[in-house]
Amino acid sequence: MTSRSESTPVWHRIFTVANGIFAASTIAAFVLLMTIADTHALVVAAALSATAIGLSVWWFSIVRTGSPDRPKPGPVAIRAVAGAVILLVGYGAFTGAQLWGSWNSIDRETFALADARAALQPVGVTTTTTIPIAAPIANGPTTTTPTLPDEPFVTMLLIGGDANSGNGDVILYLVLPTNGAEPFMMSFPRDLYVSNPCTGGNTRINTLSKGCPGKDINGGTLLSVQVSDMTGIDVDHFAVFDFDGFIDIIDAVGGIEICLDHAVRDPGAELDLPEGCTNANGEQALSWVRSRHTEEFRDGGWRSVPGRGDLLRNEHQQELILQLAKKLKSFSSPRQLTEIVAAIADTFILSNTLSLGDAINLAWSTRDIDIDDINRLQIPVRLSRSPSNQSILKETMSPKDVIAAQYGDDLPTENS
């Protein structure tokens, strides 16, 4: 004789009122619990707790209705495992879809470093990839001066500026050597006087963010060409944001901690921070980064901060990026990351070279890096005047030499 369970189609046994109640109550409980789950561990706990609640409701519904299909250990275990797994997989898929959608909503700019270099070369001039070797000095020792390798590195150029002027007032280069050497960041002062690859003349570096319209080269690409040539390490990706976007980014992560030995102010930048540590919002952080005439309260009065100006701004920029990185590393659930990406997706522009997969791989590869181990390199400069009598800064040591002085032979070679 055929048993009742054997004669009933499988789908009739799955799609029952009791199972529907189990699924609905489990999902409802999971959604409710996820409002307080902000770590990976709590997400798993929410899935297990929701499944337990769903099983309780399912068991009660069967007993309550007097169903002949009494709960048995096997079906209970199957529902427990299947419920938890389906919740976690569904949560991962939903979070991934949200992250994908937010990522794809970010504006992109075309970036092809080699093509830009070729377009910027004067007619009849071709580029080479040979490593220059210094000529022998008469009656002296023969020396070689190889350029720094342009790979293997993972690099990102951050460009922030005023949307009204179009100038890049924040130019910060992040470099991650892939051989395990300590990563570094290098700031380029906005008034640094450099050659302009677009015009062939000289200009402040911050004006390069306006691009080279005559050759259809955007600002991020033009600055990337300049920074790549100055450091000897090619830019892989760039990100551009304006000051309003900067404020939104800081606010989206819940503020940035700024710790000071003395209270500081700068009425021109609307800066006013007390002594000690402050969880600064976006407006306060922007004032701290932009301040060019910072004063601090010490010995009973307000005094100018030594080294104020572009160099002090660079220090503040680097410190803020490090604090932002620490804040992002502290997030412990996909939901938090997805919310952040969604909140700031329209505040910046990325080069089209950075895919979501690249970003995830980069984040994974840097998960164990101690933020405090990132070297903060500065370009030594001196104050000068341009031919048009502009106040400018001229480097007294090239970025390549600054990097070489810090690392020596510790950086990877091109063929490693």
Residue 367 lies in a domain: yes
Statement to judge: residues 148 and 21 lie in one domain: no
The reported pLDDT for the residue numbered 74 is 56
Statement to judge: residues 46 and 128 lie in one domain: no
Residue 304 lies in a domain: no
Statement to judge: residues 169 and 64 lie in one domain: no
Strand order in the sheet with 271-273: 271-273, 264-266, 295-298, 301-304
The reported pLDDT for the residue numbered 275 is 92
Statement to judge: residues 147 and 208 lie in one domain: yes
What pTM, to 2 d.p., does this model score? 0.74
Q: State the Cα–Cα distance between residues 234 and 240, nearest whole angstrom.
A: 17
Which is nearest to 191 in space by CA: 389, 394, 398?
394
Residue 267 lies in a domain: no
Statement to judge: residues 81 and 151 lie in one domain: no
Statement to judge: residues 120 and 18 lie in one domain: no
Contacts of 232 (CB under 8 A, 6+ apart): 147, 148, 149, 150, 399, 400, 403
Q: State the Cα–Cα distance between residues 35 and 14, nearest whole angstrom.
A: 30
pLDDT in tens for each of the 416 residues of the chain? 444 445 545 555 555 666 777 778 888 888 887 777 766 677 888 888 888 888 888 777 766 555 555 555 556 777 778 778 888 888 878 777 877 887 888 889 999 999 999 999 875 444 444 333 333 334 444 434 444 444 578 899 999 876 666 777 789 999 988 888 889 999 998 899 999 999 989 999 999 999 999 999 999 999 999 999 999 999 999 999 877 777 888 888 888 888 888 999 988 888 899 999 999 998 998 888 878 788 898 888 898 887 656 677 778 888 888 887 777 766 666 667 777 777 777 788 899 998 887 877 777 667 677 777 889 998 999 989 999 898 889 999 999 999 999 998 888 764 45
Residue 288 lies in a domain: no
Residue 60 lies in a domain: yes
Statement to judge: residues 44 and 130 lie in one domain: no
Q: State the Cα–Cα distance between residues 41 and 33, nearest whole angstrom.
A: 13
Contacts of 177 (CB under 8 A, 6+ apart): 152, 153, 183, 411, 412
The reported pLDDT for the residue numbered 149 is 43
Statement to judge: residues 85 and 206 lie in one domain: no
Residue 268 lies in a domain: no
Contacts of 278 (CB under 8 A, 6+ apart): 257, 258, 259, 260, 284
Answer yes or no: are the C-beta atoms of 78 and 106 closer than 8 Å.
Answer: no
CATH number at residue 207: 3.40.630.190
Pick the last residue of a domain from 50, 83, 104.
104
Residue 128 lies in a domain: yes
Structurally, how many domains does the chain consist of? 2
Which is nearest to 405 in space by CA: 141, 184, 157, 144?
184
Statement to judge: residues 81 and 135 lie in one domain: no
Statement to judge: residues 232 and 364 lie in one domain: yes
The reported pLDDT for the residue numbered 139 is 43
Pick the last residue of a domain from 55, 73, 104.
104
Statement to judge: residues 76 and 164 lie in one domain: no
Range of the structural domain that residue 361 is part of:
112-249+310-407
Residue 315 lies in a domain: yes
Statement to judge: residues 24 and 67 lie in one domain: yes
Pick the last residue of a domain from 69, 104, 139.
104
Give the SS3 label for residue 108.
strand
